[in-house]
Amino acid sequence: MDHVPTRPLARLWAYARSHRRAVAVASSFSVLNKIFDLAPPILIGLAVDIVVQREDSFLARWVVDARDQLLLLAVLTFVIWVAESLFEYLWRVWWRNLAQTIEHELRIDAYTNVQDLDLRWFEDRATGDVMAALNDDVNQLERFLDHGANDILQVLTTVIGIGIMFFALAPEVAWMSFLPIPLIIWGSVKFQRLLEPRYTAVRDEAAMVNAVLANNLGGMATIKSFTAEPREVERVSEASDAYRQVNRGAIRLSSAFAPLIRIVILAGFTATLIYGGFLALDGTLAVGAYSVMVFLTQRLLWPLTRLGETFDLYQRAMASTKRVLDLLDTRPQIVSGPMAPDALVGDITFDAVSFAYDPESPVLDTLSLTIPAGSTTAIVGPTGSGKSTLVKLLLRFYEPTDGTITIDGHELAELDLSALRSQIGLVSQDVFLFHGTVRENIVYGRPGASQEEIEAAAAIAEAHDFITHDLPNGYDTIVGERGQKLSGGQRQRISIARAVLKDPPILVLDEATSSVDNETEAAIQRSLDRLIIDRTTLVIAHRLSTIRYADAIHVLADGRLVESGTHEELVERDALYNALWKVQTGEAHHLA
């Protein structure tokens, strides 16, 4: 079995496999930048060497004259500074571009994965929460990759580089300045562990704020109509304050780190200063070596104070990375089957199907019915009886808890999901239009359709006239988010046009004309009548006049099939359908 890493960094490393080369290049730029940055003390040493030793100096091996040696040193200094600047530029560019690339890929992968998840998964979550992970959390990565990774590499380079110089120069005291380092590393790791849960909480609260905001912005009309503005400000403020409070916990801890580290460093620095000084006084340590040592100790230990900040960045980024990677690792329960028939005719059977969204309250109870190919079948029944649920099962948005559903003899679970769904045109009870033009929304049913085809579909849906006469820019009118700039009936007709344009063998109309007036409904009905010849059509309607002429009508109550037959047969019988019919025709005022 593959080893599955659990630490976010290890998971990220595994995820960013294809970028390891870029990470290596960026890392080497960071290291080279630091090496050139560490060179000046050596240059100073060389300068002193030239002035004191003249023709016996280190550089004398190549250039004899002391003045020429100084010129050579000047050239060397120049080269080193240019190299330092160049590599600094390079590591910045590489790390930041790497951050952007990984973020982009992560965002797209996470979105692609989320899109495949079950409807149930989305229903259990707030949109704002998922948004926070896909956007905010992904963006947190760059906080660490832009600087943090470089910082860690450069601190390491410093410790190793200066360590080498140090032990070469004054091995007797070198060990002393290194004493604080294990303590600092131990402290940093410990500190980082303490921070982890705090930043996880911070990200969770950030997602909560996002969820509240997204929810409120979506329901602005409701907030206003109930004059709930003060209450909503209060609610947003509570979420925002919770975010502030968890951040406070993290801030308190994270701010303490740098000062604490500095004290440890100060102890190491002072000890070297005093002990080395004593040795110099005793004559055991050369004065030159002592001064270089004090200088180097400072250069060695000081960068370590920045570790706190780096670990802070790291923890923050990892809290977010974990959320994104968890999203990426979530798998749908409903997976595509192996079979992908070219076309389905639409012989649909529900065989003893039971279903419940929540095990406590069953919605469908051993329901059996058949919808013959090419027929028009209607489902009626009181609100909440499970009609729309039946449709969701047919599209395999959910899996029945019991029983089977087949199309043309294939069990739904055996069919490829897109092969199944591409054969069904759904006009759903809650119409959703995308922010965009009328044309874009209709053509969603069949990308690439021509203007003539779009207009023909719109005409069938009784939409063409209002689009060209009533909308300011005709087919180019922007419908607004969720289609909010259109009337309810206009939205419904556009969604019918969209399904008609898709031209599927199976058409499902769930309360498709509930928001239009009777006259328009009758007109849509007439044009649909032509369309549904030879097409399997499932119609759900409350207004029984719309389904009067269906080949078969099934009456659902409390998730059970209570009656079936044609309109005439059902009206004859003295049962639920007859009662519903009487209420609608005005013969009775309420259900018996």
Q: Which of ligand ATP, Mg ion, none interacts with 536 (beta carbon under 5 to 8 A by kind)?
A: none
CB 253 → Mg ion: shortest distance, Å? 51
Query: Which stretch, 230-238, 352-360, 384-392, 478-486, contacts Mg ion (CB under 5 A)?
Result: 384-392
> 13 vs 397, which CB is nearer to Mg ion?
397
> Which of 188, 321, 388, 441 forms a contact with Mg ion (CB under 5 A)?
388
Q: Which residue has the closest beta carbon to Mg ion?
A: 388
CB 541 → Mg ion: shortest distance, Å? 10
**Phi then psi dihedrals of residue 240, to 5 deg:** -65, -35
Tokens of 524: 């849509």
> Which of 215, 247, 370, 429 forms a contact with Mg ion (CB under 5 A)?
429
**Phi then psi dihedrals of residue 434, to 5 deg:** -85, 155
Residues that bind ligand ATP (CB under 6 A): 123, 357-358, 363, 383-389, 429
Instruction: Identify the sign of the CA torsion 476, 481, 485, 486.
Output: positive
Neighbours of 78 (CB within 10 A): 10
| Contact call for residue 514 and Mg ion (CB under 5 A) | no
> 376 vs 388, which CB is nearer to Mg ion?
388
Q: Which of ligand ATP, Mg ion, none interacts with 383 (beta carbon under 5 to 8 A by kind)?
A: ligand ATP
> 106 vs 540, which CB is nearer to ligand ATP?
540
- Contacts of residues 105-112 at CB distance under 8 Å and 24 or more positions apart, as own/partner, are 106/15, 106/138, 106/141, 106/324, 106/328, 107/134, 107/135, 107/138, 109/328, 110/134, 110/138, 110/324, 110/327, 110/328
CA atoms of 300 and 164, how far apart (whole Å): 11
> 49 vs 521, which CB is nearer to Mg ion?
521
Q: Which of Mg ion, ligand ATP, none interacts with 489 (beta carbon under 5 to 8 A by kind)?
A: none
CB 360 → ligand ATP: shortest distance, Å? 10
- Residue 240 Cα distances to 196, 245, 397, 576, angstroms: 21, 9, 35, 52
Query: Which stretch, 225-233, 346-354, 380-388, 513-521, contacts Mg ion (CB under 5 A)?
Result: 380-388
Pair 354, 345: CB distance under 8 Å:
no
CB 371 → Mg ion: shortest distance, Å? 17
| Identity at 114, one-letter amino acid code | V
CB 384 → ligand ATP: shortest distance, Å? 4
Neighbours of 311 (CB within 10 A): 22
Closest CA to 553 of 583, 587, 589, 578: 578
Neighbours of 321 (CB within 10 A): 24
> 277 vs 362, which CB is nearer to ligand ATP?
362
Q: Which of Mg ion, ligand ATP, none interacts with 254 (beta carbon under 5 to 8 A by kind)?
A: none
Query: Which stretch, 247-255, 258-266, 386-394, 465-473, contacts Mg ion (CB under 5 A)?
Result: 386-394
DSSP letter string, 192-205:
HHHHHHHHHHHHHH
Q: Which of ligand ATP, Mg ion, none interacts with 123 (beta carbon under 5 to 8 A by kind)?
A: ligand ATP
**Binding site residues, Mg ion, CB under 5 A:** 387-388, 429
